[in-house]
A and B are shown apart, each in its own frame.
Chain A
Amino acid sequence: MASVRGQMAAAPAEAASLHRAIFIGIAVFLAAAPFLLYPVFLMKVLCFALFACAFNLLLGYGGLLSFGHAAYLGTASYICAHTAKVWGVPPEVAILLGTASAAVLGLVFGSLAIRRQGIYFAMITLALAQMVFFFSLQAPFTGGEDGIQAVPRGRLFGLVDLSSDTTLYYVVATIFLAGVLFIYRIIHSPFGQVLKAIRDNEPRAISLGYATNRYKLVVFTLSATLAGLAGATKGIVFQLASLTDVHWTMSGEVVLMTLVGGMGTVFGPMVGAAVIVTMQNYLAHLGAWVTVIQGVIFVICVMLFREGIVGVLAKRLKRPL
């Protein structure tokens, strides 16, 4: 982890202008993309990219490995689906409610989990996520194995009809950009600096007078909230909320995406999510081989490419990415 964390301290202004250029590039690509690729596939990539970025906020910048992030993705997805379908609220309200529920869950679970460190912290997050899974399985409103199906896409703000894939795509792309820009601001703010200090050397941060537990709780909650945003959006896109979203293998997948893309980099998780989702999509006909390939990628990344794709790139360019 040290090699990843202690990365280049390039002049902040240079890095900032590089990042701005990259963000603009991403926005341009997103604007043009639905004419080149299948919009539903793109939306899937964007939702998972946001999920991975949210997770990376906690892991790469907060230094906290959570094994239970699926709980926030899934809970938000269920709440959003339920309110949109059964209560009939418009999609933006449904997404907000879903995100809010993930935030509350993150706050509660976070306050329980941060009392411990390292592997114990990870195990608590896993245990809490398993309880969310069990609840999702048993509670009647989640539909168990069927999930919540036939979620209406509705009309955004009562005006924009979201049943067209392309229209919905632009909404999702906007949500995604807003989310990652927000994460970027968090990382490059005084709060973010303290966070990195805590990650690198917690006792020293405490000795400097920072209430480290409060910082950790805040970043945990933020990470959970943004994961929830990704989950709620996904629910509207696919018009389905299912157990897959709360299963522990989903928590494992987001770790994989972040690892492959580059932990502790801004753009890494997006790249990682794109790679993994694309792979799952285009290799789907290989059936069980996809699991093997994912395993191989895990092993190769851990042994040889610990920095991830973007991390390696950043090292070459000697700029933080």
Chain B
Amino acid sequence: MKTGRMLLATALVALFAGGAEAQVSVKLGVLNDRSGVYADLSGEGSVIAARMAAEDFKAEEKGIKVEIVSADHQNKPDIGSNIARQWYDQDGVDVILDVPTSSVALAVNQITREKNKIFINSGAAASDLTGKQCSPNTIHWTYDTWALANGTGGAMVKAGGDSWFFLTADYAFGHALERDTIAVVEKSGGKVLGTVRHPFPGSDFSSFLLQAQSSGAKVIGLANAGGDTINSIKQAAEFGITQAGQNLAGLLVFITDVHALGLQTAQGLVLTESFYWDLNDDTRAFAKRFAERNGGKMPTMVHAGVYAGTLHYLKAVEALKDKDPAKVMAKMKEMPTDDPLFGKGQVRADGRKVHDMYLFEVKKPEESKGPWDYYKLIATIPAAEAFRPLEEGECPLVKG
């Protein structure tokens, strides 16, 4: 008798609790660098961003069960592709997020396509992800080499920097960044006086900076990232390059790099990013909550991209009540994006997410009110102009 009543009670509870919606279970994998040069701009912060997106979206209440796992690809394509393969084959991961380091991103792009899953990249720069190597399973969210070249390159030439010398990291990303920026500089009427390739990763840039100095170029373009950029800037200051009148253009600089350099050294640096925590009230609110969970460190644009990408994915899954990759990808390209971090935007046919890009200049120490108050906004590049036009990308999904 007691058992019967128990059963009835349980049945009633099950009926009314949790809603009558069908449960969709999604597993998201945050794959990035957790211990190397890009650990600060991605790392654990991206996992926090993904979690915040699932919580803010109130996924549980909408009948979507979200599980998040993470791993360290150590910036190596073989490790990254191994983890991706295992995640897709063995661990039932549906979506891979983040993946900075272009070589790993390209490998994961390939595997995601083979296994028919979804890849929302936030951290990598390679514009080939939406160009020659575009895939119906990949969305490239935050930025790419074309947008950076267009932003920083175009702006500096307009401001009078019409002769350039490039210091380039000798690997695919560095070459791509150099190539895209040279195209912008020459199109805007500038001249390229020379380029020099440094081994990647490098530690001593003095001889390369000396060559840049003797070229007499008005702008020294740094086509490198992370520790290489930081060291180039520090050593340029040491050799009196900026004092002597040449400008440094950091073609890929994150707020964490400026934090590591300090304003004294980094002041005056011009850079392009797609997100800054202090841009408006929405970004500030997000940043405050993020920093509480991230040891006081503000979010980078990569973190923001993971948040926004996860949010958009969950919206699509909710609308379809299904997680079938082809359907969800189509839905994500169909729905315009809207989130508090990037504002309104769109995912194009080639997988490129477009949004406004911002040109920033690093403040002088006396202009800053405190830690992380580093940027002043110089210009906004509207989404329509910020990214490579669809036709120019040579993406097979777009042709014909």
Contacts and interface: CB of A to CB of B under 8 A. Distances in A.
B86 A240 contact: no
Given A240-B77, A240-B78, A287-B72, A38 B103 contact: no
A149 to B, nearest CB: 5
Contacts of A244: 76, 78-79
B171 interface: yes
Contacts of B72: 284-285, 287
B110 A150 contact: yes
Contacts of B82: 40, 44, 238
B278 to A, nearest CB: 31
B388 interface: no
Q: Which applies to chain A's interface (DSSP): helix, strand, loop or mixed? A: loop
B368 interface: no
Nearest to B43: A287
Contacts of A245: 78
Contact of A238 (B35, B78, B171): B78
A40 B200 contact: no
A34 interface: no
A221 interface: no
Interface residues of B, number: 26
Contacts of A272: none
Given A38-B89, A144-B171, A149 B107 contact: yes
A40 B115 CA distance: 15
Contacts of B70: 285
B348 interface: no
A150 B133 CA distance: 11
A56 interface: no
Contacts of B102: 145-146
Contacts of A145: 77, 102-103, 171-173, 200
A77 B81 CA distance: 16
Contacts of B200: 145
A28 interface: no
B294 to A, nearest CB: 17
Contacts of A239: 81
Interface in A225-244: 238-240, 242, 244
A288 B35 contact: yes
Interface string B170-200: 1111000000000000000000000000001
Interface string B219-236: 000000000000000000
Interface in A172-219: none
A40 B89 contact: yes
B172 A144 contact: yes
Nearest to B90: A38
Contacts of A287: 34-35, 72
A147 interface: yes
A146 B103 contact: yes
A143 interface: yes
B85 interface: yes
B51 to A, nearest CB: 17
B86 A40 contact: yes
A38 B86 contact: yes
Interface string B81-118: 11101100110000000000011001100100000000
B34 A143 contact: no
A143 B85 contact: no
Nearest to A286: B72
Interface in A38-74: 38, 40-41, 44
A239 B110 CA distance: 10
A149 B107 CA distance: 6
A285 B25 CA distance: 23
Contact of A147 (B78, B170, B173): B78
B261 interface: no
B66 interface: no
B171 A285 contact: no
B77 A146 contact: yes
Interface string B48-87: 0000000000000000000000111000111101110110
A44 to B, nearest CB: 8
Given A238-B78, A242-B76, A147 B103 contact: yes
Given A145-B200, A242-B77, A284 B83 contact: yes
Contacts of B78: 147, 238, 240, 242, 244-245
A40 B103 contact: no
Interface string B295-329: 00000000000000000000000000000000000
Given A38-B90, A41-B86, A149 B110 contact: yes
Nearest to A151: B110
Interface in A127-148: 137, 143-147
B186 to A, nearest CB: 24
Contacts of B106: 146, 149
A146 B35 contact: no
Contacts of B85: 40
A149 B77 contact: yes
A107 B82 CA distance: 32
A58 B312 CA distance: 56
A242 B73 CA distance: 14
A41 B91 CA distance: 13
B210 to A, nearest CB: 23
Interface of B: 34-35, 70-72, 76-79, 81-83, 85-86, 89-90, 102-103, 106-107, 110, 170-173, 200
Given A149-B107, A240-B107, 13 more contacts: A40-B86, A40-B89, A137-B170, A145-B171, A146-B102, A146-B107, A147-B103, A147-B107, A149-B81, A149-B106, A150-B110, A240-B77, A285-B72
Closest 3 CB pairs of A and B: A145-B171, A146-B103, A288-B35
Interface of A: 38, 40-41, 44, 137, 143-147, 149-150, 165, 238-240, 242, 244-245, 284-285, 287-288
22 contacts: A38-B89, A41-B86, A44-B82, A137-B171, A144-B171, A145-B102, A146-B103, A146-B172, A147-B103, A149-B81, A238-B82, A239-B81, A240-B78, A240-B81, A240-B107, A242-B76, A242-B78, A284-B71, A284-B79, A284-B83, A285-B70, A287-B34
